[in-house]
Chains A and B, each alone.
Chain A
Amino acid sequence: MVEWTEFERDTIKDIFSKIDYDVVGPAALTRCLVVYPWTRRYFGNFGALYNAEGIMGNEMVANHGKKVLHGLDRAVKNMDHIKESYCELSQLHSDQFHVDPDNFRLLADCLAIAIATQWGSAFTPDIQAAFQKFLSVVVFSLGSQYH
């Protein structure tokens, strides 16, 4: 069981109450696909993802970015049972999408950077630490059902 301090719980709730899903979701997934081009392997049906411009203008990428960010909502609402909350999604990513779980970590890093871009100095070291701890629990949970 993950132990959360009061500060960490408050910080996570605060971040997700303020986040603009329509901006941050697409920004994070876009960065992931540009900065770690091998991640494009999972989006063959999204059209032309050959370069940064193509990725940044791609509507399917933007929509999927929003979807993925909303995928974190269940963890925010259920911070004491994150692993259980992602059982099914983990199986899905393993058995249907065949996503290398290391990619979850890459996307999490891009998400931290996307939020930093939005928040500037308000994204303090303590807040970054809490957010990255939260993301690492989600990343672990998404990888937990791989076999």
Chain B
Amino acid sequence: MSLSAKQKATVKDFFGKMSTRSDDIGAEALSRLVAVYPQTKSYFSHWKDASPGSAPVRKHGITIMGGVYDAVGKIDDLKAGLLSLSELHAFMLRVDPVNFKLLAHCMLVCMSMVFPEEFTPQVHVAVDKFLAQLALALCEKYR
């Protein structure tokens, strides 16, 4: 399910519009991940506080969103562009890939909350596909 040229343009355009709110959306998305899917807190047992809205969660959400933005710039070859991130996730973090889908869903929820007019069904499908491709690229080195 690779992105068409039009969908890549849609993704770049929407992420451009989103850029002033990207930190908020990143922080909110990770907060929602641990709120809606509490089992995901298992990856953050090294934090004093992994509850929704906590400082480490918000900070890490911003970091992750930064990575997503970086991936937008590499949209034409995500596998190559995310090689080292994939190695990190495969050998060090070892995050079960099912969680990428869960976080993607939370990101989509946040996008639709903050940009209800712009996050049309057409934008939704393009962004959902992009996040799925991103997740696939992150999984590349897993096995």
Contacts and interface: CB of A to CB of B under 8 A. Distances in A.
B122 A52 contact: yes
Interface in B63-112: 105, 108-110, 112
B121 A117 contact: no
A125 B57 CA distance: 13
A118 interface: yes
A133 to B, nearest CB: 8
Interface stretch (A9-17, A28-36, A86-94, A95-103): A28-36
Contact of A128 (B35, B120, B122, B125): B35
A60 interface: no
Interface secondary structure of B, over-half rule? helix
Contacts of A76: none
Residue from A114, A118, A119, A132 having most chain B Cβ neighbours under 10 A: A132
Nearest to A127: B35
A137 interface: no
B122 A34 contact: yes
B53 interface: yes
Contact of A120 (B114, B121, B122, B128): B114
Interface in B106-143: 108-110, 112-114, 116, 119-122, 124-125, 128
B116 A34 contact: no
Nearest to A121: B113
Given A31-B124, A109-B105, A117 B32 contact: no
B109 A116 contact: yes
Interface residues of A, number: 23
Interface residues of B, number: 22
B124 A34 contact: yes
B127 to A, nearest CB: 9
- Nearest 6 A-B pairs (CB), nearest first? A125-B35, A34-B121, A117-B116, A35-B125, A117-B112, A116-B112
29 contacts: A31-B124, A34-B121, A34-B124, A35-B124, A52-B120, A52-B121, A55-B121, A56-B121, A113-B108, A113-B112, A113-B124, A116-B109, A116-B112, A116-B113, A117-B116, A117-B119, A120-B113, A121-B113, A123-B109, A123-B113, A125-B28, A125-B32, A125-B35, A125-B52, A126-B35, A126-B52, A128-B36, A129-B35, A132-B36
Interface of A: 30-31, 34-35, 52, 55-56, 109, 112-114, 116-121, 123, 125-126, 128-129, 132
